[in-house]
């Protein structure tokens, strides 16, 4: 996953879409844009790419702010399992 995170971030920086000045609002706006595109997808194929865009944008957001998203994903899954056990 680390290579995916770095490759994704690097390719976006090389395209000029992320700079040192990119801020929280920029990422939130990009996520909104991608969610809207997913909502408007007319096929599962289009939806698949839009969902990928959402995930990759979120990963870039985390990477930009040096958040270890892999750790937090694992932690969140653990929390979700614990919640599921309390529901039963």
User: Exposed, middle or buried, 3 (CB in 10 Å: 0-12/13-18/19+)?
Assistant: exposed
Assess whether pLDDT exceeds 80 at residue 88.
no
Tell me which CATH code domain 2-87 carries: 1.10.287
> What local confidence, expressed as pLDDT, does residue 86 receive?
86
Q: Please name the helix (run of DSSP H) or strand (run of DSSP E) that holds residue 18, with its range, or none.
A: none
Global pTM value: 0.89
Q: How far apart are CA 7 and CA 36, in angstroms?
A: 25
pLDDT band at 68 (very low <50, low <70, confident <90, very high): very high
Q: How far apart are CA 37 and CA 68, in angstroms?
A: 27
Per-residue pLDDT tens digits for 13-40:
999 999 999 999 999 999 999 999 999 9
In the chain, domain spans: 2-87
């Amino acid at each position: 996953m680390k290579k995916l995170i770095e490759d994704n971030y690097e390719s976006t920086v090389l395209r000029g879409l992320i700079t040192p000045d990119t801020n929280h609002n920029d990422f939130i706006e990009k996520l909104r844009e991608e969610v809207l595109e997913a909502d408007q997808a007319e096929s599962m194929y289009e939806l698949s790419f839009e969902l990928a865009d959402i995930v990759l944008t979120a990963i870039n957001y985390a990477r930009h702010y040096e958040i270890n998203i892999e750790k937090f994903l694992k932690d969140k899954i653990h929390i979700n399992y614990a919640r599921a056990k309390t529901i039963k």
